[in-house]
Amino acid sequence: MSYEVVMYTRTTPCPFVRTAKRVLERENVPYREVFINQDDNAKQRVIDWTGFQSVPTIIAANPGEDLPYENPAPLEGSPRGIDRGSMITEPGEDQFEAWLKKHGFIE
């Protein structure tokens, strides 16, 4: 696998973050967290990408990087559950599993 999962999140509880973590842990997918409430640059990135402070915003990134491996598809409306290629935001369990499969993180 040439990419890694990076999850933009915050330290306060969120049901979408819990769902994403449950899927990642169940499937044994390693991931790295970037906390938008502790990193102003990360917070601004999420706002630029989604129009909101939407967490989790999950990207496929080159190892060690905090940016998507390619520019995400343009967003029209709410970012919730929309597969934008290298990015997905606030996905449901099925949406997230499909995204992980597409990128080769799970079979």
pLDDT in tens, 48-81: 999 999 999 999 999 999 999 999 999 988 999 9
pLDDT in tens, 19-57: 999 999 999 999 999 999 999 999 999 999 999 999 999
Domains of the chain, residue spans: 4-102
pTM: 0.96
Domain 4-102: which CATH class?
alpha beta
Question: How many other C-beta atoms can be found within 10 angstroms of the C-beta atom of residue 46?
Answer: 23
Judge if the upstream peptide bond of residue 68 is cis by omega within 30 degrees of 0: no
Contacts of residues 103-106 at CB distance under 8 Å and 24 or more positions apart, as own/partner, are: 103/3, 103/60, 104/1, 104/3, 105/1, 105/3, 105/5, 105/27, 105/29, 105/60, 106/27, 106/29
Which residue, chain included where needed, has tokens 């599993």? 97
